[in-house]
Amino acid sequence: MKGLVVLLLLTAAAPAFAQPLPMPEDVTCTSSRVLKRGIVAPCGGILVPRANLDAANAAMLDLRQCKADLTLEQELAKARAEGDSVRLAACERLSTERDGIIDRMIGARGVPLPILRKPWYESAWLWGPAGLVVGGLAGYGVRAITR
């Protein structure tokens, strides 16, 4: 905002290069003023007070810093956009692979699985009756002991 005000101050009035009157060197300008063409300047040297020049210089430095910050932010935004595009491509690739796996699973739904042969000692036909026999004998033994 400060830079805008100084910029307006410097550009609002067209600069006039005036010919100073032959005056003693101790006469200095104390305020800014607009001079029309052809009017003799009331003082020599810079026609703008030093404080205004200092404010203008500070505004120019602020403007340079602002431009540098803007450039940095633009580069950061570009880097973020590139990273996001790489991430998006990876997500799309994974989504396509997932869809392919789901399609293969749905296609294999009606296919019977091959019968796996288990060893004889893992057979339910062996251990089912064996459990019944052992359970029956255990019950008979408990009944015989408790009589």
pLDDT, position 4: 57
Please tell me which of 6-10, 47-51, 84-88 the model is most confident about, judged by mean pLDDT: 84-88
Identify any residues that bridge with 121 across adjacent strands, giving them in sequence order.
none
Q: Where are the domains of the chain?
A: 2-81
The burial of 60, by beta-carbon neighbours within 10 Å (0-12 exposed, 13-18 middle, 19 or more buried), is given as middle
Alpha helix ranges (H) inside 44-123: 50-107
Q: What is the pLDDT of residues 4-32, one digit of tens each?
A: 555 555 555 544 444 544 554 555 666 66
Q: Report how many helices (DSSP H) and strands (DSSP E) the chain contains, helices first.
A: 3, 0
pLDDT, position 71: 93
Contact of 3 with 20, CB cutoff 8 Å? no
pLDDT band at residue 139, thresholds of 50, 70 and 90? very high
Q: What is the pLDDT of residues 62-82, one digit of tens each?
A: 888 888 899 999 999 999 999
Model's pTM, two decimal places?
Answer: 0.35
Q: What is the mean pLDDT of the chain?
A: 78
